[in-house]
Amino acid sequence: MKRALEIMPGALSWATLIGLLFLSWKFPFVVAVFIVLYDLFWLLKTIYLFIHLRISFVKMRKNQKINWFQKIKEHRKEWEEIYHLVVFPMYKESHNVVRKSVLNILETNYPKEKILLVLALEERGGEGDQETARKIQNEFGGNFRRLLITTHPSNIQGEMPGKGSNETWAVRQAIKEIIDPLHIPYAKVMTSVFDIDTRPEKEYFGILSYNFLTVEDPQHASYQPVPLFTNNVREVPVFARLIGFSSSFWQFMQQGRPEQLVTFSSHSMPLKALIEVGFWNTDIVSEDSRIFFQCYNHYNGKWKTVPLFYPVAMDSVTGGGVFDALKNLYKQQRRWAWGIENVPFVFSRFWKNKQLPLKDKLFWSYSLIDGFHSWATSSFIIFFFGFLPNVLGGADFHTTVLSYNLPQITGIIINLSTFGIITSAFLSIILLEPQLREEKRKWYYIILYFVQWALIPVTFIFFSSIPALESQTRMMLSGKFRLGFWRTPKATSKEK
């Protein structure tokens, strides 16, 4: 059954693409109608999603103007009991990158005696990482309630080297060496796991604490900020920049649809729940999303992701040169698409759980399959397959009115859909405004960053759909084709 579930997503994607090729040859009229309807569906979906994008963006800008620590001090006395356990997994990172992230935590507007900071090293990182950690400990050790350095051993039986296994080791060590000795109740600890390049804005811990103390049933919720891939946005190739913004805007859209929001990359959750579900899975790649589904299943559907509508800044993918950066971008997208490994987990665990409501089982089963299927196929159907009926359909189809009008119809629909791209272009300029303010040729960069969005069709095909299709194919083939955890090289040449 597990193998069948691993094969299913890729089989559906390949069946769709190959089926459209075959049907364009044998039944071009049917495919032409399908493509027109599909493009119309995506036009409506684009409008729907960008309404959520706009609403979430406005909420974030509003939240950025609030002094959340002051607000929580005035309205919630209980904040004094809350501690924040912040975990930075790191592997072969430069001292400058780590220092910037730790310094960023130090500069947040929140009492540092309430912050427990963990640098989670890997044994395989060698002496270089150990030396970096010692330098950070010497410089910042006295600035937090505790700054703990952990080293995740190599070659633990049954573990996959990667972020999930490192985080699990680090939090277990933090419980043993900090939380238990200080007699801090697990229910009073919020755990935040950040990529080493993650830099939350000044009021992050304030708004996180406020939400934790005000939402309904706070112990059964994850808390998700908006990741903005803008730390090094001016120093990366255009395709990496577009993927970074597209990923951020997708998270904006999901923040506006909390019923579909799943934890992604840097996020926070109660330590008590983390312990109860057995921490992160240590044998998978996509631990960030899997922890949501673990909790959802463990608590029989009584789990949610609370959108914070507040940003954390992260790096876009880079490399030693343009070609190297594009190769790394492809690998990053392939790793993200490896979240397809959640499909067997959800289908097997959710459907065996008799206490989980049927509507929840149906909702998440459909959402996962639909999401990964669209990821792998939609760009091909929208930007490429519209020509197939006329190319493969033969002489009989070429004489029809539909054949003559198909390029015009699909062209009009796609052109109408560009309002979403134009909206994204304007929002990206607004997000970059603080950085553009420092540029000597500000208007040159504004025009450049606006025009670059014309490359979205190429970007989505080569750096979204193709890596997603590869991941699904690897899952189908299994064995030696399965992906392990791949660390994204994000530090710029200047930071190195």
Write out pLDDT tens, residues 43-94. Answer: 999 899 999 999 999 999 999 999 999 999 988 889 999 999 999 999 999 9
- Would you state the pLDDT for residue 444? 76
- Would you state the pLDDT for residue 492? 45
Q: Residue 222: helix, strand or coil by DSSP?
A: strand
**In the block, which residue shows the tokens 């699909």?**
410
State how far the Cα of 404 lies from the Cα of 390, in Å rounded to an integer: 9
Q: pLDDT: is 77 or 358 the higher one?
A: 358
The count of structural domains within the chain is: 1
Calculate what percentage of the chain has a pLDDT beyond 90. 71
- Mean pLDDT confidence for 189-215: 96
**Mean pLDDT over all residues of the chain?**
91
Cβ neighbourhood burial of 272 (10 Å; 0-12, 13-18, 19+): middle
State how far the Cα of 256 lies from the Cα of 296, in Å rounded to an integer: 20
The Cβ of residue 218 has, within 10 Å, a number of other Cβ atoms equal to: 16
- Would you state the pLDDT for residue 493? 38
State how far the Cα of 146 lies from the Cα of 149, in Å rounded to an integer: 10
Dihedral sign, CA of 308, 313, 316, 317?
negative
Q: Is the pLDDT of residue 435 over 80?
A: no
* Residue-range definition of the domain harbouring residue 328: 1-496
- Would you state the pLDDT for residue 191? 98
- Mean pLDDT confidence for 105-122: 96
- Would you state the pLDDT for residue 447? 84
- Would you state the pLDDT for residue 451? 87
- Would you state the pLDDT for residue 495? 46
State how far the Cα of 101 lies from the Cα of 89, in Å rounded to an integer: 12
- Rounded to 10 deg, the angle between the 28-64 and 2-26 helix axes is 130
Q: pLDDT: is 286 or 488 the higher one?
A: 286
- Mean pLDDT confidence for 98-104: 95
- Would you state the pLDDT for residue 115? 97
CB contact set of 484 (below 8 Å; sequence gap of 6+): 160, 161, 162, 285
- What tokens does 43 get? 């036009």
- Would you state the pLDDT for residue 415? 82
Q: Is the pLDDT of residue 494 over 70?
A: no
Range with lowest mean pLDDT among 126-135, 163-172, 391-400 = 391-400
Q: Which amino acid, one-letter code, is at 474?
A: R
pLDDT in tens, 271-293: 999 999 999 998 899 999 999 99
Q: Is the pLDDT of residue 496 over 60?
A: no
Q: What Å distances lie between residue 431 and 66, 93, 170, 282, 408, CA to CA?
A: 18, 27, 34, 36, 35
In 24-112, DSSP assigns E strands to 83-89
pLDDT in tens, 442-474: 777 788 888 888 899 999 999 999 999 999 999
pLDDT in tens, 333-353: 999 999 999 999 999 999 999
The Cβ of residue 297 has, within 10 Å, a number of other Cβ atoms equal to: 22
Burial 344-372, CB ≥16 within 10 A → b, else e: bbbbebbeebeebeeeebeebeeebbebb
CATH assignment of the domain containing 305? 3.90.550.10
- Would you state the pLDDT for residue 271? 98
Indicate the pLDDT class of residue 111, thresholds 50, 70 and 90.
very high
Q: What is the pTM of this model?
A: 0.92
Calculate what percentage of the chain has a pLDDT beyond 70. 97
Q: Is the pLDDT of residue 438 over 80?
A: no
Indicate the pLDDT class of residue 321, thresholds 50, 70 and 90.
confident
Q: Residue 340: helix, strand or coil by DSSP?
A: helix
